[in-house]
């Protein structure tokens, strides 16, 4: 418990000045990756990895004992469900009329749909992953007209070659709405390769190519530092599932860009066991465009619990909060409360 208290104190210290800064919120299952400064090209995580490398999550079953190779599950975020139920109960308590409010039911429908974040179907050699909705920018839970703006949806496919190699590709649909710029939509793609070094003591490697829509080339640049037509490299090392160190190098194919070889470093460490789950402290950082005058820091907390002792893959709850400092005095808060069924 002392370790948990120390981690909470560190997290509170970092966020203690948020009231005087610009704060942008994201309801995002990508929380773990962002709390490690986006150094995630070579990290195994079915909830996060497909957005960074569509090939790598299928190799997790060979890295960690006890994970089944054949399964399917839905990813559900319980925050929208809770908000929907709370809104409905509050409306019923305050309303004297039995007539249904169309705006209320519309909001509840959006909350429920939004809560189903994705679906995974996995077999021995291939995996299909569907991401229904993932926040890209700030959002307003009460704005039902623009609720699905500034988001990404994705269909990814990966195929395993032997025990150590995998290849994958994803098709991505982006929609954005920025004041004074209007609404933009478009399709993008990514291609990934991954290598699971089973014989080299928990090392893994990844490479991903990203292509974004011509009309919104910077759609994932603002928060995730992913660039159009860029190739990104990653290497990670995991020690006894208690420590994870990851390194990403952005935009290795554009020598003339300021973002060329922008290096991201992430760290995750287990700080405590609690019943059938674990608490994690996550941190990371990089220098914007490799200039020491613009450092970016990230910090997060996470808890992952298995609902059953027999299965480590299908049934778990993941909680995480992260604050990232970006250009000038701006903070981005990511959070998720996700359960896989």
pLDDT at 277 over 90: no
Q: Does 230 or 147 have the greater pLDDT score? A: 230
Distance set, CA 124 to CA 61, 121, 194, 272 (Å)? 9, 11, 16, 33
The pLDDT mean for the chain works out to 77
Q: Does 54 or 68 have the greater pLDDT score? A: 54
Q: Does 200 or 204 have the greater pLDDT score? A: 204
pLDDT at 7 over 90: no
Angle at 41 between CA 256 and CA 237, to 5 degrees: 120
How much is the pLDDT for 160? 93
Q: Does 135 or 158 have the greater pLDDT score? A: 158
pLDDT at 40 over 60: yes
Say which residue the tokens 């990814």 belong to: 156
Q: What mean pLDDT do residues 67-80 have?
A: 75
Q: Does 220 or 325 have the greater pLDDT score? A: 220
Q: What is the largest CA-CA distance in the chain?
A: 68
How much is the pLDDT for 231? 97
Query: What distance in Å separates the CA atoms of residue 246 and residue 185, rounded to the nearest whole number?
Result: 32
Q: Does 86 or 247 have the greater pLDDT score? A: 247
Q: What mean pLDDT do residues 86-97 have?
A: 60
pLDDT at 294 over 70: yes
Q: What mean pLDDT do residues 141-146 have?
A: 55
Confidence of residue 210 (pLDDT cuts 50, 70, 90): very high
Q: Among the ranges 17-21, 201-205, 223-227, 229-233, which has the highest mean pLDDT value?
A: 229-233
DSSP readout, 294-311?
A: SEEEEEEEEEEEESSSS-
How much is the pLDDT for 239? 84
What is residue 150's three-state secondary structure? coil
Q: Does 273 or 219 have the greater pLDDT score? A: 219
DSSP H helices, 198-277, are 221-224
Dump pLDDT digits (tens) for 158-199.
999 988 899 999 999 998 877 777 788 999 999 999 998 766
Sorted by sequence, the CB contacts under 8 Å of residue 86 that are 6+ apart come out as: none
How much is the pLDDT for 304? 80
Percent of the chain with pLDDT over 70: 67
CATH number of the domain bearing residue 60: 2.40.160.40
- Is 25 exposed, middle or buried, given 0-12, 13-18 or 19+ CB atoms closer than 10 A? middle
Confidence of residue 8 (pLDDT cuts 50, 70, 90): very low
Query: What distance in Å separates the CA atoms of residue 59 and residue 272, rounded to the nearest whole number?
Result: 26
Residue whose C-alpha is closest to residue 236's, from 200, 191, 273, 285 = 200
pLDDT at 79 over 50: yes
In this structure, the number of other CB atoms found within 10 A of the CB of residue 290 comes to 14
How much is the pLDDT for 262? 96
Report residue 10: phi and psi, to 5°: -60, -45
The count of structural domains within the chain is 1
How much is the pLDDT for 234? 97
Q: Which residues lie across from 277 on neighbouring strands?
A: 274, 305
Confidence of residue 2 (pLDDT cuts 50, 70, 90): very low
Structure pTM?
0.82
What is the domain extent for residue 202? 2-340
Cα 275 to its chain centre, rounded Å, is 25
pLDDT at 126 over 70: yes
pLDDT at 9 over 60: no
Q: What mean pLDDT do residues 272-298 have?
A: 85
């Amino acid at each position: 418990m002392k370790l948990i208290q120390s981690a909470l104190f560190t997290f509170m210290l970092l966020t203690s000045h948020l009231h005087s800064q610009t704060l942008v919120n994201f309801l995002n299952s990508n929380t773990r990756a962002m709390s490690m400064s986006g150094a995630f090209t070579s990290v195994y995580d079915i909830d996060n990895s497909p957005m960074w490398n569509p090939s790598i999550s299928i190799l997790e079953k060979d890295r960690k004992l006890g994970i089944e190779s054949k399964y399917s599950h839905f990813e559900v975020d319980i925050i929208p469900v809770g908000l929907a139920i709370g809104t409905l109960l509050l409306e019923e308590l305050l309303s004297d009329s039995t007539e249904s409010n169309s705006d209320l039911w519309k909001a509840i429908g959006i909350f429920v749909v939004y809560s189903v974040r994705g679906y995974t179907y996995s077999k021995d050699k291939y995996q299909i992953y569907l991401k229904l909705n993932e926040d890209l920018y700030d959002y307003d839970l009460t704005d039902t007209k623009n609720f699905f703006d500034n988001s990404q949806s994705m269909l990814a496919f990966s195929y395993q070659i032997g025990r150590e190699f995998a290849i994958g590709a994803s098709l991505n649909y982006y929609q954005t709405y920025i004041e004074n710029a209007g609404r933009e939509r478009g399709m993008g793609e990514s291609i990934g390769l991954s290598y699971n070094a089973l014989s080299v003591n928990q090392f893994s490697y990844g490479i991903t190519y990203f292509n974004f829509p011509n009309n919104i080339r910077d759609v994932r640049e603002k928060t995730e530092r992913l660039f159009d037509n860029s190739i990104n490299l990653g290497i990670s090392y995991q020690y006894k599932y208690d420590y994870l160190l990851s390194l990403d190098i952005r935009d290795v194919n554009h020598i003339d860009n300021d973002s060329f070889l922008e290096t991201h470093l992430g760290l995750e460490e287990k700080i405590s066991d609690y019943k059938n789950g674990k608490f994690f402290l996550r941190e990371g950082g990089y220098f914007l465009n490799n200039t020491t005058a613009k450092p970016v820091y990230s910090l997060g907390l996470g808890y992952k619990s298995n609902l059953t002792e027999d299965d480590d893959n299908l049934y778990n709850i993941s909680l995480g909060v992260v604050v990232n400092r970006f250009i000038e005095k701006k903070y981005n808060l990511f959070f998720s409360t996700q359960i896989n069924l």
